[in-house]
Chains A and B, each alone.
Chain A
């Protein structure tokens, strides 16, 4: 199914995007609202480890952490999912059995996406067979930047089909797309082609999730819902390491898409060190003392 994509139907006003972001981010969230936001942000985390040196032990430890964020402080939510490389899916699946936490796997020759479509589809099928509940694919940025939008769109549709019941997150790798206009166009293509979530970055390229990029993608999600009635999820990833940033993004979603998106079903953070920073903030709010990483599990 080749979609006829009209190029750049939405041009993004970069200055305006930056100013809007600055205004949203200046909002101050305190006390009970802050605690609520921190708990919510924890429940939205895709706790991620995507390193070449990942081992079975590392993945098991991360899975344990996913459901035992900080046992000293009862009542904390679990994170939404664990995000790992394909060969770690069976280990994660087994470790998370009975916790209700999803296993997400990157696929389609992550992070570059430089493989032929056949290999990509096989990889997707194999991670789904291994038990992945969510698949994070990367788009072919080379094809996109050379204007072959039909290819990008077809690829996403085929991967979506290969996913079956698993949720599909489409990584745009916005750091390589250069302009906000491209980010908007890629978001539109991904959503039209069947993405359940659109995701900013692999975390391997800098810049990763920048606020104007996230805002642009959220606006694309909003327009897509207006047009089709479908609710697409959003996942900023890469470079989100502090509780403060997380809360700023929550403000941005609320103001762009409304309260309905303030849920792990429709919004996720792809992060590894974010969880500990949020936990430190929660403990600071509770005890009144600034915390140290020394007293939290390694992430």
Chain B
């Protein structure tokens, strides 16, 4: 019998709960340091982004109207699924240059981060909502609501943990997200899509693109249907472009510098609050 050839995975995009190839048909050759493994990564186009936005917009009302408890359950489930695929992520992270020990730490922290935000998913509203004292015959209260569709440029230096740290608080708050994965270390992002696919996250709530951020950042920040934009990085030109484009329809702009996402201070219920609107209601009393 002839020697068996291993079947390699085709890295595609994750849009609307499906794994399409980029509509542009373009690929970026990604190779590990030793050049022993070469992977073709989809070079996502503005049309891929547009399609992802349509999916995200379609999914947001269903996702935000689920009970907070159900969103918590689903986030927990994502954590469970990631745990079960540990070996695959180990292989990808080490291929991308981490030592086994570092890779293990990154996976552990990514799972823990998902569980952390699963815990907060049905609790942050209580913390951030309030009754306001007013000197009129009104019962005045403020509550939080999902902002809508969030577009995000993920941290470039962290393949998995950075991605998870951006996605988890956004969807815990009932938003949907289109995220541009790390350009330098893209492998884990699409595998994370496979985790999402098997963990009851409705299609369209999380959409993951790969490609060149310089090509798509303009479209991410100028699309009129995006309600909030997250930018992770230190490129001053990019930051300025995001701010300028966001002004078109007054998107929320959330920027994170290059930072060590492993630190505990980078997980916080305040990250959930960043993609929330506050609604204040004046309810007449005594009439």
Contact = CB atoms under 8 A, between A and B. Distances in A.
Contacts of B223: 289-290, 292
B50 A289 contact: no
A290 B249 contact: no
A288 B223 CA distance: 9
A141 to B, nearest CB: 33
A293 B149 CA distance: 13
A17 to B, nearest CB: 26
Interface in A25-56: none
Nearest to A289: B222
B224 interface: yes
A71 interface: no
A205 B50 CA distance: 30
Contacts of A292: 223-225, 249
A97 B53 CA distance: 40
B241 to A, nearest CB: 13
Contacts of A294: 224-225, 249
Contacts of A295: 224, 249
A292 B56 CA distance: 12
A291 interface: yes
A28 to B, nearest CB: 12
A243 to B, nearest CB: 12
A290 B222 CA distance: 7
Interface string A275-294: 00000000000001111111
Nearest to A293: B225
A25 B223 CA distance: 27
Contacts of B225: 290-294
B219 interface: yes
Query: Counting chain B CB atoms within 10 Å of each CB, which of A288, A289, A291 scores highest?
Result: A289
A232 B95 CA distance: 65
Contacts of A290: 50, 53, 219, 222-225
A289 B53 contact: no
Contacts of B219: 290
A289 to B, nearest CB: 5
Interface string B101-127: 000000000000000000000000000
A79 B225 CA distance: 26
A291 B223 CA distance: 6
B91 interface: no
B248 interface: yes
B230 to A, nearest CB: 18
Nearest to B248: A289
A288 B222 CA distance: 9
B50 to A, nearest CB: 6
Nearest to A290: B223
Interface string B40-69: 000000000010010000000000000000
Contacts of A288: 222
Interface string B224-244: 110000000000000000000
Contacts of A291: 224-225
Contacts of B249: 292, 294-295
Interface in A93-152: none
A295 B222 CA distance: 14
Interface in B190-238: 219, 222-225
Nearest to B225: A292
A78 to B, nearest CB: 25
A247 to B, nearest CB: 15
A34 to B, nearest CB: 14
B152 to A, nearest CB: 16
A75 B62 CA distance: 38
Contacts of B224: 289-292, 294-295
A295 B250 CA distance: 13
B147 to A, nearest CB: 13
A154 B95 CA distance: 75
B224 to A, nearest CB: 4
B225 to A, nearest CB: 4
A117 B224 CA distance: 51
Interface in A211-262: none
A289 B50 CA distance: 11
Interface in B161-192: none
Nearest to A295: B224
Nearest to B222: A289
Contacts of A293: 225
A21 B66 CA distance: 40
Contacts of B53: 290
A140 B224 CA distance: 46
Interface of B: 50, 53, 219, 222-225, 248-249
Given A290-B224, A292-B224, 18 more contacts: A288-B222, A289-B222, A289-B223, A289-B224, A289-B248, A290-B50, A290-B53, A290-B223, A290-B225, A291-B224, A291-B225, A292-B249, A293-B225, A294-B224, A294-B225, A294-B249, A295-B224, A295-B249
9 contacts: A288-B222, A290-B53, A290-B223, A291-B225, A292-B225, A294-B224, A294-B225, A295-B224, A295-B249
Interface of A: 288-295
Which 3 pairs show the lowest CB-CB distances between chains A and B? A292-B225, A292-B224, A290-B223
